[in-house]
């Protein structure tokens, strides 16, 4: 049984047996390392937001209880998926992190497609490649976004790099198609895949770098990346706009931290403990 399947059942049974209004606080403290009680100032930090003890109401507690149960259900779902990826990658945690981050970078619209794209590229290539253009060519090519014919030097460069890599690595196409609708332009798959490429071009052995010292601070530092220069003036190929920095936002990093990295780190720790 995986860590979160075991841990989730224990907590849910615990919740069902408790009748006081304090169980949400206990659950939040247990489940997140970002929540704790500041005894000096008599306040509770819920996901980094201070709440005075005297201001706590049953309504707030019920809301936190709902969020805690929702969080547990999501953790259980993610753990099941992560275990499947571990089986497919011969327990390569770095590879699983890459797939998980790709899924996270795609959010709800392109998450599954990005995960399939990440799985279609040998991670040994991702691990050793430090050229962001080569990584973009691989990701964009596998996402079927390099087939346009237009007078664009950067597009042509990526097309040539992908053509060579596809032949050398014998890459197979994927059936998932990326989508551009229902999202803001800064969240377009072109921007997100470029940011993912930049992240891995800058940092090999990403998981090891995250877990050394303080993971939360490490995530904030390591993930301080922007899309490549071309995408600072483009959202799609061939259509230029005024230059702007397209870095990963704090809210996006918080989502990644809770949805991908936090689960993976705890599952990794559980796996190592039970070896």
Each residue's pLDDT tens digit, 28-37: 434 443 333 3
Residue 228, Cα to own-chain centre: how many angstroms?
Answer: 19
Q: What pLDDT sits at residue 48?
A: 43
Question: Which of 259, 245, 120, 117 shows the shortest CA–CA distance to 193?
Answer: 117
At residue 213, the pLDDT reads 76
Q: What is the pLDDT of residues 201-259, one digit of tens each?
A: 999 889 888 888 777 788 889 999 999 999 999 999 999 999 999 999 888 887 666 56
Among residues 163, 157, 127, the alpha carbon closest in space to that of 142 is found at 163
Note whether 52 and 42 are within 8 A (CB): yes
- In sequence order, the 6+-apart residues with CB closer than 8 A to the CB of 272 are none
- Residues of the chain short of pLDDT 70, as ranges, are 1-78, 255-275
What is the pLDDT, as a whole number, of residue 253? 80
Q: Which of 142, 82, 12, 132 is nearest to 263 (CA)?
A: 82
pLDDT at residue number 56: 46
**pLDDT at residue 177 in the model:** 86
For residues 196 and 110, the answer to whether their CB atoms sit within 8 Å is no
Question: In 10 A of CB 8, how many CB atoms?
Answer: 19
**What is residue 269's predicted lDDT score, i.e. its pLDDT?**
58
Look at strands 49-52 and 234-236 and give their pairing. Answer: unpaired
């Amino acid at each position: 049984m995986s860590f979160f399947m075991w841990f989730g059942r224990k907590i849910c049974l615990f919740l069902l047996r408790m009748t006081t209004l304090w169980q949400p606080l206990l659950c939040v403290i247990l489940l997140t390392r970002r929540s704790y009680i500041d005894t000096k100032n008599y306040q509770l930090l819920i996901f980094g937001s201070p709440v005075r003890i005297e201001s706590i109401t049953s309504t707030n507690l019920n809301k936190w209880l709902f969020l805690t149960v929702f969080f547990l259900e999501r953790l259980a779902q993610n753990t099941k998926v992560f275990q499947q990826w571990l089986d497919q990658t011969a327990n390569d945690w770095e590879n699983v992190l890459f797939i998980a981050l790709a899924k996270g970078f795609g959010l709800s619209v392109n998450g599954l497609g990005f995960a399939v794209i990440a799985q279609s590229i040998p991670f040994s290539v991702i691990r050793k490649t430090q050229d962001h253009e080569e990584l973009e060519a691989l990701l964009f090519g596998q996402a079927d976004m390099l087939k346009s014919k237009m007078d664009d030097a950067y597009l042509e460069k990526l097309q040539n790099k992908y053509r060579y890599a596809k032949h050398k690595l014998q890459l197979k196409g994927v059936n998932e198609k990326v989508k551009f609708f229902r999202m803001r332009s800064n969240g377009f798959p072109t921007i997100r895949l470029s940011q993912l490429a930049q992240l891995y071009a800058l940092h090999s052995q990403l998981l090891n770098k995250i877990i050394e010292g303080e993971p939360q601070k490490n995530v904030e530092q390591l993930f301080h990346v922007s899309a490549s220069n071309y995408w600072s003036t483009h959202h799609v190929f061939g259509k230029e706009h005024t230059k702007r920095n397209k870095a990963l936002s704090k809210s996006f990093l918080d989502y990644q931290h809770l949805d991908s990295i936090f689960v993976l780190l705890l599952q990794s720790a559980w796996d190592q403990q039970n070896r």
